[in-house]
Amino acid sequence: MTVVTTINQTTAESSKEPLRTLKDFRGSQLLQWTKEKDWKGQGFFGWNLVPQGDGVIAVGDALHVKKTRDMAALAA
């Protein structure tokens, strides 16, 4: 399985970045998300985002939150 987020789109080289750094900033332990055993040691990015159709998001575009989750419940 190839993980697109670890492939440099210019050089096609693979590395552990940016996922390694992501775990430092959005890791399950830092977020205190311990409810699910599969989350242990994982990094979370865009996990709460779900597109409602096709299209392109560009710098400066407005995004609107339609629904939020109870994040405290994830840590319980």
pLDDT for 70 beyond 80:
no
pTM for this one? 0.46
Cα gap 40→11, rounded to integer Å: 31
Tell me the two tokens of residue 68. Answer: 């939020």
The pLDDT-based confidence of 71 (bands split at 50, 70, 90) is: low
pLDDT of 36 strictly over 80: no
What would you report as the CA-atom Rg of the chain, rounded to the nearest whole angstrom? 15
